[in-house]
Amino acid sequence: MRVVARNWRCPRGELDLVALDSDGTCVFCEVRSRTGEATGDPLEAVNLRKQAQVVRTARNYLAEEQILAPAFRFDVVAVTFFHDGREPRLVHIRAAFEARS
Q: What is the pLDDT of residues 2-54, one digit of tens each?
A: 999 999 999 989 999 999 999 999 999 999 999 987 778 899 999 999 999 99
Q: What is the pLDDT of residue 15?
A: 98
Q: Is the dihedral of CA 59, 64, 69, 70 positive or negative?
A: positive
39, 84 contact by CB (below 8 A): no
**3 state SS of 71:** coil
Q: From 3.40.50.11440, 1.20.1250.20, 3.10.180.10, 3.40.1350.10, which CATH number describes the 2-97 domain? A: 3.40.1350.10
pLDDT value for 6: 98
Q: Is the dihedral of CA 64, 65, 66, 72 positive or negative?
A: negative
Q: Which amino acid is at 4?
A: V
Euclidean distance between the first and the last CA atom of the chain, given in angstroms as a whole number: 27
For residue 101, name the pLDDT band (cuts at 50, 70, 90).
low
| 3-class secondary structure, 68 | coil
pLDDT at position 68:
83
